[in-house]
């Protein structure tokens, strides 16, 4: 579930013209794919696609907040990271709840649509990861950007696996299983971001 991100956080705080340019490109990619994937997810009745679309939305929001607080004080940056962590937590809970609903209400999703959109989303996410990988270590604000990019790439591979599972079994269970795993990924990333933001806030106070 983890593309090796490392566990040693540097002090890079995002103050770099190159980093800002890369963030703008990634924001555009994520906002566009959110619209495409959410529409396709609803049409295909795929919970995994809709969960991944929310991940795109969360990323675009995260990158926008990250741009806004670059160069700000440690207190402001840690509060921004904490807010992003909470948003990821809420999205994880939403995905989990809607997945439970899907078990009892919705039908089998369309595997073909899941596969095609999953491939397009994977291409967009790989581009984002390549743009941001050199900045994967840093403060909580920078770290949250990397974790969201990593989540998207993992999520789209998972959606394609779910599509194969739905096609092979003619049931919605692979889609639901993948959506549940992605909800867990949201929650895990939220905890990592909030924990690091808390440590940096305490460090600044001392």
For residue range 51-81, what is the model confidence (pLDDT) as tens digits?
Answer: 778 777 877 887 888 888 887 787 887 888 7
6 in any annotated domain: no
For residue range 177-196, what is the model confidence (pLDDT) as tens digits?
Answer: 877 777 787 788 788 878 87
For residue range 77-91, what is the model confidence (pLDDT) as tens digits?
Answer: 788 878 878 877 887
118 in any annotated domain: yes
> Could you give the dihedral angle defined by the CA atoms of residues 130, 85, 195 and 82, in that order, rounded to the nearest 10 degrees?
110
In this predicted structure, the answer to whether residue 1 has a pLDDT above a threshold of 50 is no
1 in any annotated domain: no
154 in any annotated domain: yes
124, 29 contact by CB (below 8 A): yes
Which is nearest to 49 in space by CA: 133, 104, 115, 148?
115
For residue range 108-163, what is the model confidence (pLDDT) as tens digits?
Answer: 566 677 778 778 888 888 888 888 878 777 777 777 777 777 777 777 777 777 77
12 in any annotated domain: no
In this predicted structure, the answer to whether residue 99 has a pLDDT above a threshold of 70 is no
3-class SS letters over 1-37: CCCCCCCCCCCCCCCCHHHHHHHHHHHHHHHHHHHHH
4 in any annotated domain: no
Say how many Å lie between the first and final Cα of the chain, rounded. 35
pTM: 0.63
Which is nearest to 84 in space by CA: 140, 125, 4?
140
Instruction: Say which CATH number the domain at 59 has.
Output: 1.20.1510.10
Mean pLDDT of the chain: 76
How many Cβ atoms sit within 10 Å of the Cβ of residue 137? 16
pLDDT band at 25 (very low <50, low <70, confident <90, very high): very high
Number of domains present in the structure of the chain: 1
């Amino acid at each position: 579930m983890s593309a090796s991100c490392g566990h040693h956080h540097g002090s890079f705080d995002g103050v770099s013209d190159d980093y800002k340019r890369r963030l703008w490109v990634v924001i555009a990619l994520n906002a566009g794919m959110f619209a495409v994937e959410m529409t396709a997810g609803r049409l295909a009745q795929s919970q995994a696609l809709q969960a991944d679309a929310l991940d795109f939305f969360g990323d675009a929001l995260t990158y926008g907040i990250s741009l806004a607080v670059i160069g700000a004080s440690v207190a402001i940056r840690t509060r921004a990271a904490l807010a992003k962590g909470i948003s990821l937590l809420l999205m994880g809970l939403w995905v989990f709840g809607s997945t439970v609903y899907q078990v009892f209400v919705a039908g089998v999703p369309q595997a073909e649509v899941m596969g095609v959109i999953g491939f397009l989303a994977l291409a967009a996410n790989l581009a984002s990861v390549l743009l941001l990988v050199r900045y994967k270590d840093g403060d909580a604000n920078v770290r949250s950007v990397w974790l969201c990019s990593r989540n998207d790439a993992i999520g789209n591979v998972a959606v394609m696996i779910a599509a194969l599972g739905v096609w092979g079994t003619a049931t919605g269970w692979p889609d639901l299983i993948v959506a549940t795993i992605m909800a867990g990924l949201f929650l895990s990333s939220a905890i990592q971001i909030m924990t690091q933001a808390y440590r940096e806030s305490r460090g600044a106070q001392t």
